Structure 1
């Protein structure tokens, strides 16, 4: 009898738990998100997204940002910015972290060439830009990775654009990177 009661309690617990998930609205990918949703999705950091950009969830459910003029095209934006947070493991300075990051890219891309640009953020000190070119489906892209090291984590702010459009949005991207704040 005790087992039956325990089973019934477990069943009710699971049913209630599942029904609450059903009421959570699903966010449609590649559609513009309102400011409240964006703020909610930026759980561990914040950036100031310019008014001429929009925010959305990309194909892997990562929060991304693209110029609004690309919203008019009904395809996946080919210019975007997104942020990842990863454990820094044994890397305690930006130089060692940059070497590690470049080695990962060298394994991923054949004949990998890049430019390294050093920058500084008032709150987080030195960071590095790693800028490189790639080709996907016969289209040339330029990618900028801003690597910021904070405590035991590093943040990668990635800006990827068709090479012809890279400079067009670069000023907006630099402003977004400089507005980056880690929530404590």
Structure 2
């Protein structure tokens, strides 16, 4: 899908034998910012999907809030529900900066204009209504750069592939699906984003 400043494409597949994928994602772009979130409900199937959907709905209603405020609101809504792991990326077009936080096994990889790749180290644990410490990482935008967000169905071996250095998000997703599209033992979501200034 073509946006004004950020191009996005995504791959998603439910765990082998499941109709429902426990992962949910959301993204949108406004005049001043872009936000993308990926939530993975604990376990798999319908109840995992329900929790991850609750989280992306809250994020959709709070796109202008800070990452800290969004995570707090998501955590409050998950009381009594199955927990989730969560990754959120925000790009601030005016400040030419990005920030992200991931709790649990949602990964974020940044790929700079010169091809350097950097993987984040997620905060431990998951959101389930309890107070959870987490950190938000920030960085300056290159003129163009890619962000890859993924759930735990994507392996380290897959992430090492050269096609992640591609400039085109549709080609990244197509290459991933072609090479790894077989049935997985976990819900799998991979989101490729390209900031083009």
Question: Could you tell me the TM-score, scaled by structure 2's length?
Answer: 0.32
Report the structure, 1 or 2, having the larger helix content: 1
Q: Which protein has greater RCO, CA pairs closer than 8 Å, 6+ apart?
A: 2
Question: Could you tell me the TM-score, scaled by structure 1's length?
Answer: 0.34
